[in-house]
Structure 1
Amino acid sequence: MPYTNAPDMPAKLARLRERFLVRLSEDLECLQKEADRLVSDDDGGALCSAYHRLHRLAGSAGTFGMPDVGRTARALEKVLKPVACIEDESRLDSGHKARLFEELSSGLQVLRSLAGHQTSSAHDPSLDKANVFDRTRLEGKQARLLIVDEDTDRASLLCRELSSYGFDSLEVSVDAMMTAIDCAENSGVVALLASPVKVPKVRTVRNSSSDPAILRLPIFAVGGHDSFDNRYELAENGARGFFPDPIQLPELVERIEKLSADQARGTRGRVILVEDDPDLAEHYRLVLHLAGIDVRIVNDPTRLLSDMAAFRPDLVLMDVQLDGYSGVHLARMIRFDAQWLSLPIIYLSSEDDPDIQLDALSKGADDFLMKPVSDDYLVRSVQIRCLRARLLSDLMNQDSLTGLLKHSLIKQTLEQEVARCRRDGHTSAVVMLDLDHFKTVNDTWGHMVGDTVIKSLANLLRNRLRETDLIGRYGGEEFLVVMPGCDLDDAERVMQDIAASFSALAFTAGQDRFHVTLSAGIAAIHALSTADESLNAADTALYRRKYNGRNGVTVFRSGPQNAPQEAH
């Protein structure tokens, strides 16, 4: 969830919440009528209607700050689910209907109470601030890991160590595994960790689910001895990875982080759609939107370049023949700009002549989709090409060791955030981090171990910061973080927590076990005029931190002579 920093955003949020409260009141009235129909002669469709209404309410209430309403609606939804949409409700005997009526009525009473409380406190003073900062997302969405291990001591230790990296780790039995997955509403389960002997049972229980998201949960084997036979058996039983004793925690964390990143981006993508048939364009937009793809429609080709510059697409979908314009010429025009040379362009056209298609492709496009194209084929084609475009972008923009933004890209991000702060007046922070005594790590244990330390900090930053925070490897063991919509106090608190967690991580090299600390300097982007000034302020604070003993955070605050002051 991104930060909301526009000055009118609090008012928009308040209006949306008020509209939802009105709809909630209307839904409760309808639900009561549907409950009453259960014990009347006119009960046709009452259960199905109530079930769908509760399903919608359960999915939307949390978004508007009413998680208790959502959880109660979800519980009622599950009560009705087994009998919700049977074709003939008259087959239910009167006793069953009466029990459903009692449960539904009791639940509605709870919902009314919760709704009344929310209505009476509908005005949230925190929304009066010009900049709404979502503190619940400050450290980002924690990924939950379920650990199933017959060795409780090892499982407990693994839980504690993974928690230091920012994971929400939970030790469970095989029997309790599905319940733990169902309860993970705020922390989505991304992986199942199991001892080798538990892997077959964990796989069986996971595969008993009908939920595609659960069926895709990867299983990693942790612990046990390393041998070819053991590895082969684990692969045969569906394990996605194996980390034998002694478990190399940085390697395990890196694998889970990569998996989480792949899952997070999933089918997402950004598509420019150039189409002069508005109804067809809206159909394509809705189909792609349902697949998690963000689409901007361009009906007027003269706006194409400006919309591309603002939207930064992963892909362009374009008809070959547009009203007054040729898609072939537009594709060639797009390639005039070096930044779009690698951008995939796909023609959508009813043209079925292979020679004409090839000629069109030779003039700037990458593929040709024939109209009419099925919704499924369109979605899959766009997903594949968006993924390839992002992978290519990653190769160009990301540091090869850490997967973070490269030096030039993170500096460019800082410059963009400075411009946004000056334009919109919101608060943001920049953080410069540096590993303490890192040369000693390389000199003592070698550069491969040093690389492990650097990757561990990168993984920790990714896991503990928000999705909207931008992280880059500034150079060597230095990192730069841009935190949009974040004031100095919040940035300081988060970085102190990250510094404490990192210092608690234990690294191993042969028989040696050691710890590494970090230093951080923080500056307010909005309080300075340029990106260079912000960077210099964070750098000044960082070096003051190192001068005063390292292993901690220093904040650059405006004051006499702009002297940095120590964070407490």
Structure 2
Amino acid sequence: MSSKLEQKIAEFRITFIAEFNDKLAVLTKLWSNARTSQSLEAVKKFRFEVHSLKGSSGALNFLTLSNRLGIIEEKIAPCEEQINSLKTVIPFIDRHMNSMNEASRNTPNSLLVLQEAASLLGELRDPQKNKEEITPQSYRDIKIALIDDNENTSAVNAKLLAGFGFTINQFNSIEQLEKVLQKNTYNLVLIDTDNSTNPSEKMFAFAVKLRTFDTDVFILSSSSSFENRLSAVRSKVNEYLLKPVNITTLVSKIRKNFKIDLIRPYRILLLDDQALVGSFYKTLLEDEHVEVLAISKADAIMTELESFHPDVFLLDMHMPNISGLEVARLLRQQAKYDYVPIIFLTSDDNIKTKLEVLECGADDVISKSTPPNIIVQQVDSRIQRGQEIRYLASRDSLTGVLNHGQIMDAAAHSLRLSKRQEKPAVVVMIDLDHFKGVNDKYGHLGGDKVLVSLGQLLLQSVRDTDYVGRYGGEEFMVVFSNATPRVIESKMNNILTAFLHINYTVDKQSFNCSFSAGLASSTDHEKLSELISSADAALYQAKDAGRSQICVDVLNK
């Protein structure tokens, strides 16, 4: 981790040390009230403060203090169920509270919290392999080597992939590719194992070698045997695809593997009632090039989610008046967060807590005393898996844009947000011109190429806050937030111009395509159905006027 981050974390520790005497005084007063009144309310307040201080001290790696507070919490917790048992634990807690207060009085600046066996900065300075920053790629960035000793199938696959914009080099054997590996680098190697003279063991050994070149590997095979699949897993093969492989399936797998459709960095929503702890984790995670929204009040979460779309939720377990478990259940009641991972950051790591976390629909529990680099790895792993699942559930399998249900949800969300923020949203309906003729003349392969290219062109042309979806068939919908019809009309004309210059080739025949589009603004429509209907009407106006043009809803002119 960077020296800048180390300095930041050191500052958090210094702040904690400076505030520790005051926190200990509050804890001592709460314990005095609890042991004197022996009321359930007083006991709960004391335990909550113990738990909070244990969490923050553990997060900042003051492990001796965190462990001692954990012992106190373990003793006081049963008293919330049976208040009469408080008398039996008073002497035990008295000893620990007196010990902490004595250390605080005798040691300047509360060096109690500094006397730690483990050094946070020492852990941070351990050599770490920097995590590769995930960035989206376009088709033209991906260079593919295809190994297939059957010249006919190799030529067909190479031609199909080249038609989708990939750079393809063909090789008839492993040996032929090995000769050029030192000079030529490839993002992906496709190994067709059928009819090969090489034994399977050699192919999988070569796959392992390719990984040392940071090259991904797909296996194309007619064998679905357990042994081959296991060998592929052990060789770190990225995909094992059964032949015959549909070209659109292969393109979809390549797109997913290289995160072509990822258009923004990770976003994390962090909820922790302790501002210091929230700031600590925000600093820690933002050093990994992610965007973190840290909030300290649970009742603010729904408002924030109107404009912030997280890839993972990080929740504190225990907060005033509400538990993290209740927040998790609230989130899981909403379908749009079904596939967003929920992780609890807590100092409470007993097995009962972990079971409760799973039962409420959350995905993981991370102890606040976990070393920072391990926390980052766990969060990163959950985000990647969550993104993969969410991608599969929300995307149109061919084009990579949102499917019909997801684009409708996105449009409804944008309309609500535009009304609340008083900033207009624009909906654009797009329809490919004479698309049936393309399918009739060039087959579905030609039609699929056109659909994929338009979807990708739209994705590359919009902002992170906009949405692109496949409305159905050859029709697409784009939702622009905080936009005016005049600006979007100009933008769509630029996209149309770019689309008109894309050349497609099928069976040595080249052709181009166009689209028509209609747009409407939320300024003139209260309901989503009305907004879409107006954009649709403008689309048909463009069709009637001769196609290959953009028309604006008459109310927006």
**TM-score normalized with structure 1 length:** 0.52
Residue 555 of structure 1 is matched in structure 2 by 549
CA distances 1:470-492 after superposition (whole Å, capped 9, x unpaired): 44332234344557877133211
Q: Which residue of 2 aligns with 1:538?
A: 539
- Separation of aligned partners in 1, 2:218 and 2:154: 15
Tell me if the contact between 2:429 and 2:476 (Cα under 8 Å) persists in the aligned partners: no
Q: Report how far residue 317 of structure 1 moved.
A: 1.5
Distance 2:469 2:294 in 1: 32
SS in structure 1 of the partner of residue 370 of structure 2: coil
2:254 alignment counterpart: 256
Partner of 2:506: 505
State yes or no: 1:522 paired with 2:539. no
Matched residue SS, 1:297: strand
Counterpart for residue 459 of structure 1: 452
SS of residue paired to 1:554 = coil
* Counterparts of 1:346 and 1:560, CA distance in 2: 48
1:349 Cα deviation from its structure 2 partner: 1.5
- Partner Cα distance (2:427, 2:361) in 1: 40
| Paired AA for residue 453 in structure 2 | L
Judged with a 3 Å threshold, the aligned counterparts in structure 2 of structure 1 residues 539 and 146 are, in CA distance, closer, same or farther, namely same
Please state how far the C-alpha of 1:300 moved relative to its aligned partner. Answer: 3.4
Q: Secondary structure at the match of 2:269?
A: strand
Residue aligning to 1:162? 161
- Identify unmatched segments of 5+ residues in structure 1: 1-58, 64-136, 182-188, 507-512, 546-552, 564-568
Deviations 1:391-425 (A, max 9, x none): 55446534466654232433454566788799778
Deviation at 1:336, TM superposition (A): 6.5
Cα deviation digits, residues 111-131 of structure 1 (max 9, x gap): xxxxxxxxxxxxxxxxxxxxx
Q: How does 1:374-413 map to 2 (within 5 A)?
A: 374-391=371-388, 393-394=390-391, 396-399=393-396, 404-413=401-410
Q: Which amino acid aligns with 1:536?
A: A
How far apart, in 2, do the equivalents of 1:256 and 1:161 lie? 13
Distance in 1 between the 2:197 and 2:283 partners? Answer: 43
Q: Secondary structure at the residue paired with 1:368?
A: strand
Cα contact 1:276–1:322 (8 A) shared by 2: yes
Contact 2:414 2:425 in 1 (8 A): no
Q: How far apart in 1 are the matches of 2:243 and 2:334? A: 51
Higher RCO (CA < 8 A, seq sep 6+): 1
Identical aligned residues as a percent: 19
CA distance in 2, matches of 1:163, 1:526: 39
Q: Which residue of 2 aligns with 1:270?
A: 267
* 8 Å contact kept, 2:431–2:474: no
Do 2:312 and 2:340's aligned partners in 1 also have CA atoms closer than 8 Å? yes
User: Which letter maps to 1:541?
Assistant: A
Bigger mean CA offset, 289-298 vs 523-532: 523-532
Mean Cα displacement is larger for which, 487-496 or 151-160? 151-160
**Superposition pairs of residues 357-436 of structure 1, within 5 angstroms:** 358=355, 365=362, 367-391=364-388, 393-394=390-391, 396-399=393-396, 404-413=401-410, 431-433=430-432, 436=435
In the other structure, the counterpart of 1:322 is 319
Q: Which moved more, 1:335-344 or 1:276-285?
A: 335-344
Whole-Å Cα distance in 2 between the matches of residues 416 and 171 of structure 1? Answer: 47
Amino acid at match of 1:218: V
Q: 1:406, 1:472 within 8 Å by CA — same for their partners in 2?
A: yes
2-side partners of 1:560 and 1:273: how far apart? 44
Check 1:233–1:346 CA distance in 2 against 1; reply closer, same or farther (3 A cut): closer
Contact 1:272 1:315 in 2 (8 A): yes
CA apart distance, 1:554? 0.8
Asked if structure 2 preserves the Cα contact closer than 8 Å seen for 1:434 and 1:479, the reply is no
Structure 2 residue aligned with 1:488:
492
The number of residues matched between the two structures is 393
Aligned amino acid, residue 297 of structure 1: A
Larger Rg: 2
Note the 1:31-110 alignment, pairs <5 A. Answer: none
Quick one: distance in 1 between partners of 2:308 and 2:355?
Answer: 29
* CA deviation after TM superposition for structure 1 residue 348, in Å: 1.7
The reply to whether residue 295 of structure 1 matches residue 284 of structure 2 is no
Deviation, 1:538, is 2.7
Matched AA of 2:549: V
For residues 240 and 424 of structure 1, the distance between their equivalents in structure 2, rounded to whole angstroms, comes to 44
Q: How does 1:221-260 map to 2 (within 5 A)?
A: 240-241=239-240, 249-260=247-258
